[in-house]
A = this chain, B = another copy of it.
């Protein structure tokens, strides 16, 4: 059977790398993984849905926080083994640690440094025990 949309899910055991980019600012917000079902849901619903490797199930981004990623444009690469999704990101940040982008640590003089302040309080969104 030809995989959904002729993507190559074979290189990462059924998963495909997905880069999420803010359509307006161009900022790369996060990287996640999709299996075929997650990609199909993303296309059908217009909300980015990943496959969570740690929880081993589909993961509608924003399900808990409300910080959903609204699909604006989907591209794939030459090998068809990666996706680039431009989104409108609802809410102040996509990172569960409270930052606008998951890429909030920059390499400076051989050390990772936080390069921006938090955009929201994760305890208020996810609960203090999460």
Q: How large is the interface on A (under 10, 10 to 19, 20 to 34, 35 or more residues)?
A: 35 or more
Task: Count copies of this chain in the complex.
Answer: 2
For chain A residues 81-100, which have a beta carbon within 8 Å of chain B? 82, 84, 95-97, 99
Q: A6-B112, A112-B5 are in contact. Are A30 and B99 (CB under 8 A)?
A: no
Determine whether A43 belongs to the interface, using a CB cutoff of 8 Å to chain B. yes
Determine whether A31 belongs to the interface, using a CB cutoff of 8 Å to chain B. yes
Contact present for A5 and B107 (CB under 8 Å): yes
Q: Could you write out 7 A-B pairs with CB less than 8 Å apart?
A: A6-B112, A31-B82, A73-B107, A77-B102, A77-B105, A78-B102, A84-B103
> Which A residues fall within an 8 A CB radius of B?
5-6, 11-12, 17, 19, 21, 25-28, 30-31, 43, 53, 73-80, 82, 84, 95-97, 99, 102-107, 112, 115
